[in-house]
Amino acid sequence: MSQKVLLSSKEINIILHRLACQLLERHLDFTETALIGLQPRGVFVAERLSKILKEDYGVNRIDLGFLDITFYRDDFRRGDKTLEASSTNIDFLVEGKKVVLIDDVLYTGRSIRAALTAIQSFGRPREIELLTLIDRRFSRHLPIQPNYRGRQVDAINEEKVKVMWKENDGKDIIYLISK
């Protein structure tokens, strides 16, 4: 097994700022927008972006929610393990809002398919966009593409992208791991 650094802490920081600016360009004051981090790992990206937007770009208020998609996944009973859920926390209405789904790695697109179904339980958003930190292109199972992407990666299926966060893993770093 070998691993190489895909993005360093500094690079992640630059990319997050760029993504924040791209969001800002399209959503301006965020009054009509909701950022939804997908559980478990998209939450870190969503929290960081929200923090950068507030602290560095003076956005007053952002509706930030966390969505768990476990019960909407299409692989229930198809693997060996029971799918374990995380918590959902959306304490605002998404009805009529511009929703940005946020995840760390976009791979097959199946999680996003599940998230598109799951978010409907909270109302009918005006539109839904997708932001992903790492986009593993050429490995999609479904016709899903991000509106905002941090870095595009051509990883083969055996390889794994591992995203680590200061809050959870001690430091910000992204590895590409090959067996």
Q: HSE (CB half, 13 Å, CA atoms) of 170? A: 0
Question: Any contact of residue 72 with another protein (CB under 8 A)?
Answer: yes
Shortest reach from residue 86's CB to another protein, in Å? 8
Q: Which residues contact residue 116 at a Cβ distance below 8 angstroms, ignoring those fewer than 6 apart?
A: 101, 128
Judged by CB under 8 A, the residue of 83, 127, 152, 168 near another protein is 83
Question: Any contact of residue 152 with another protein (CB under 8 A)?
Answer: no
Shortest reach from residue 115's CB to another protein, in Å? 13
Question: Any contact of residue 142 with another protein (CB under 8 A)?
Answer: no
Shortest reach from residue 125's CB to another protein, in Å? 13
Q: Which residues contact residue 76 at a Cβ distance below 8 angstroms, ignoring those fewer than 6 apart?
A: 83
Kindly report the CA angle at 69 between 163 and 134, in degrees rounded to 5?
Answer: 25
Judged by CB under 8 A, the residue of 26, 28, 31, 71 near another protein is 71
Rounded CA gap, 176 and 107, in Å?
A: 13
Question: Any contact of residue 4 with another protein (CB under 8 A)?
Answer: no
Q: From start to end of 39-159, where are the E strands?
A: 63-67, 98-106, 127-136, 148-153
Rounded CA gap, 99 and 128, in Å?
A: 5
Sole window of 57-65, 121-129, 131-139, 150-158 interacting with another protein (rule: CB under 8 A): 121-129
Judged by CB under 8 A, the residue of 13, 22, 88, 147 near another protein is 88
Shortest reach from residue 75's CB to another protein, in Å? 11
Torsion sign across C-alpha atoms 16, 20, 26, 30: positive
What are the residues binding another protein (CB under 8 A)? 68, 70-73, 76-77, 81-88, 117, 120-123
